[in-house]
Structure 1
Amino acid sequence: MEDREKPKKKSATVFGYPISIFFIVVNEFCERFSYYGMRAVLVLYFKYFLRWDDDFATTIYHTFVALCYLTPILGAIVADSWLGKFKTIVYLSIVYALGQVVMAISAIHDITDSNKDGVPDNMTLHVALSMMGLMLIAVGTGGIKPCVAAFGGDQFEEHQEKQRSTFFSIFYLSINAGSLLSTVITPILRAQECGIHTQQECYPLAFGVPAALMVVALIVFIVGSGMYNKTAPQGNIMLKVCKCIGFAIKNRFRHRSAEYPRRTHWMDWADEKYDKLLIAQVKMVLKVLFLYIPLPMFWALFDQQGSRWTLQATTMNGDFGILVIQPDQMQTVNPILILVLVPIMDSVIYPLISKCKLNFTPLRRMTVGMFLAALAFIAAALVQLQIDKTLPKFPSSTESQGKFINMIDRPIEVTAGDYRFTLRAFTANDEYLTFDKTFDLKVGNAVISKIALQNGTRTTLSITQDGLTVIPTLFKDNTSKPEKGENAIRFLNGFGSPLNVTVDSLDFGSIPTNNMSRGVLVPRGNKEFLIKDGTGQQCVYTHMLGFGSSFTFIIPSFFKFGQDCQQSIRPVVDIMPNSFHMAWQIPQYFLITAGEVVFSVTGLEFSYSQAPSNMKSVLQAGWLLTVAVGNIIVLIVAEAATIPDQWAEYILFACLLLLVCVIFAVMAYFYTYIDPTKIEAQFVEQESEDKEKRKSLEMARKDSVEQRKEDSSSSSSSSDEEEAQTKI
Structure 2
Amino acid sequence: MTRKSRTPSFQQSAREDNAEKQSLTPKSPTEQNTKTSANFQSMLNTNDTYAASTFEESPIKAKNNTSGFTGKLTSVVSSFFSFLQFPKVVWLILLSEGSERLAFYGFKTVLPLFLKDYLNWDEDGATVIIHSFIFFAYLTPLLGSVMADGFFGKFTTILIMAILYCIGQVLVAVTAIPGLTGHPPRSWGIIIGLFIIGLASGGIKPNVSSMGGEQFSSRDPVLITSFFSFFYLTINLGSTFSTIVTPILRTEFGYAIAFALPAVAMILSTIVFAVGRPWYKIVKPKENIVISSAKVAVYSLICTARDWVKRFLSIFRITSAPVRVTHFLDRAKKRYPERLVEDIKICLRIIIVLMPICAFFALFDQHASRFVFQATHMNRNFFGVNLDADQIQVINPFMIILLVPFFDRLVYPACRLFDRVFVLTPLRRMAVGFVITALSFVLSAFVDFLVEHFGPGKIHVIAQLPQYITLGMGEILVSVTALEFAYQQAPPRMKSLMSAFYLLTVSAGNVIVLIVAALPIPAFPYKQTVEFLVFAGLIMCALGIFLILAWFYKYRDTTQDDDQVASDQNVKTIPVISSAVDDELDGDFSGDGCDAKVSSMYDVESAM
Over 3 Å counting, the alpha-carbon distance change for 1:382 and 1:670 in structure 2 is same
Aligned-partner SS, 2:160: helix
Give 1:209 deviation, angstroms: 0.9
Q: Corresponding residue for 1:662?
A: 544
Q: Corresponding residue for 1:585?
A: 464
Q: Corresponding residue for 2:486?
A: 607
Q: Is 2:461 the partner of 1:373?
A: no
Match of 2:310 among 236, 257, 262: 257
Q: Which has the higher helix share?
A: 2
Q: AA paired with 1:190?
A: R
CA contact (8 A) 1:277 1:680 kept: no
Give 1:90 deviation, angstroms: 2.0
Structure 2 unpaired stretches of 5+: 1-83, 312-319, 565-608
Q: AA paired with 1:338?
A: I
- Whole-Å separation in 2 of the counterparts to 1:329 and 1:628: 24
CA contact (8 A) 1:380 1:585 kept: yes
Match of 2:174 among 105, 129, 149: 105
CA contact (8 A) 2:233 2:404 kept: no
- Whole-Å separation in 2 of the counterparts to 1:298 and 1:273: 39
- Whole-Å separation in 2 of the counterparts to 1:660 and 1:45: 34
Match of 1:150 among 210, 226, 232: 210
Q: Write the mapping of 1:489-504 to structure 2, written as runs, cut at 5 A.
A: none
Give 1:272 deviation, angstroms: 0.8
Aligned-partner SS, 1:109: coil
CA contact (8 A) 1:296 1:630 kept: yes
Give 1:364 deviation, angstroms: 2.7
Over 3 Å counting, the alpha-carbon distance change for 1:232 and 1:36 in structure 2 is same
- Whole-Å separation in 2 of the counterparts to 1:666 and 1:85: 35
Task: Return the TM-score normalized by structure 2.
Answer: 0.71
Q: Is 2:240 the partner of 1:180?
A: yes
Q: AA paired with 1:289?
A: I
Q: Write the mapping of 1:646-661 to structure 2, written as runs, cut at 5 A.
A: 646-661=528-543
Give 1:247 deviation, angstroms: 1.3
Q: Write the mapping of 1:254-293 to structure 2, written as runs, cut at 5 A.
A: 254-255=306-307, 256-258=309-311, 259=320, 260-293=322-355
- Whole-Å separation in 2 of the counterparts to 1:233 and 1:20: 21
CA contact (8 A) 1:34 1:211 kept: yes
Give 1:664 deviation, angstroms: 1.8
Q: Corresponding residue for 1:204?
A: 256
Give 1:301 deviation, angstroms: 0.4
- Whole-Å separation in 2 of the counterparts to 1:673 and 1:162: 16
Give 1:254 deviation, angstroms: 2.8
CA contact (8 A) 2:226 2:408 kept: no
Match of 1:639 among 518, 524, 530: 518
Match of 2:298 among 246, 269, 278: 246
- Whole-Å separation in 1 of the counterparts to 2:147 and 2:448: 45
Q: AA paired with 2:241?
A: L
Q: Write the mapping of 1:201-240 to structure 2, written as runs, cut at 5 A.
A: 202-240=254-292
CA contact (8 A) 1:612 1:677 kept: no
User: Which structure is larger by alpha-carbon Rg, 1 or 2?
Assistant: 1
Over 3 Å counting, the alpha-carbon distance change for 1:159 and 1:631 in structure 2 is closer
CA contact (8 A) 1:284 1:612 kept: yes
Give the paired residue count.
466
Aligned-partner SS, 2:492: coil
Over 3 Å counting, the alpha-carbon distance change for 1:238 and 1:269 in structure 2 is same
- Whole-Å separation in 2 of the counterparts to 1:629 and 1:144: 19
Give 1:210 deviation, angstroms: 0.5
CA distances 1:110-169 after superposition (whole Å, capped 9, x unpaired): 2255xxxxxx32x4xx31111000000001111111222333445568999998776555
- Whole-Å separation in 2 of the counterparts to 1:54 and 1:288: 37
CA distances 1:63-108 after superposition (whole Å, capped 9, x unpaired): 0001111111101111222222222222211211111111112222
Q: Corresponding residue for 2:99?
A: 30
CA contact (8 A) 2:207 2:496 kept: no
Q: AA paired with 1:40?
A: T
Over 3 Å counting, the alpha-carbon distance change for 1:147 and 1:377 in structure 2 is same
Over 3 Å counting, the alpha-carbon distance change for 1:281 and 1:680 in structure 2 is farther
Aligned-partner SS, 1:257: helix
Q: AA paired with 1:109?
A: P
Structure possessing the higher relative contact order (Cα contacts under 8 Å, 6 or more residues apart): 2
CA distances 1:702-721 after superposition (whole Å, capped 9, x unpaired): xxxxxxxxxxxxxxxxxxxx
Q: AA paired with 2:362?
A: A
Q: AA paired with 1:371?
A: V
Q: Corresponding residue for 1:321?
A: 383
- Whole-Å separation in 2 of the counterparts to 1:341 and 1:209: 27
CA contact (8 A) 2:400 2:476 kept: yes
Q: AA paired with 1:62?
A: H
Q: Which has the higher strand share?
A: 1
- Whole-Å separation in 2 of the counterparts to 1:21 and 1:351: 23
Structure 1 unpaired stretches of 5+: 1-14, 114-119, 195-201, 392-576, 683-728
CA RMSD of aligned residues (A): 2.8
Q: AA paired with 2:288?
A: N
Q: Write the mapping of 1:30-429 to structure 2, written as runs, cut at 5 A.
A: 30-113=99-182, 120-121=183-184, 123=185, 126-154=186-214, 168-192=228-252, 194=253, 202-255=254-307, 256-258=309-311, 259=320, 260-321=322-383, 323-350=385-412, 357-391=421-455
- Whole-Å separation in 1 of the counterparts to 2:181 and 2:503: 39
Q: Corresponding residue for 1:412?
A: none
Aligned-partner SS, 1:588: helix
- Whole-Å separation in 2 of the counterparts to 1:60 and 1:340: 31
Q: After superposing the two structures, state which structure 1 stretch, 277-286 or 340-349, moved more.
A: 340-349
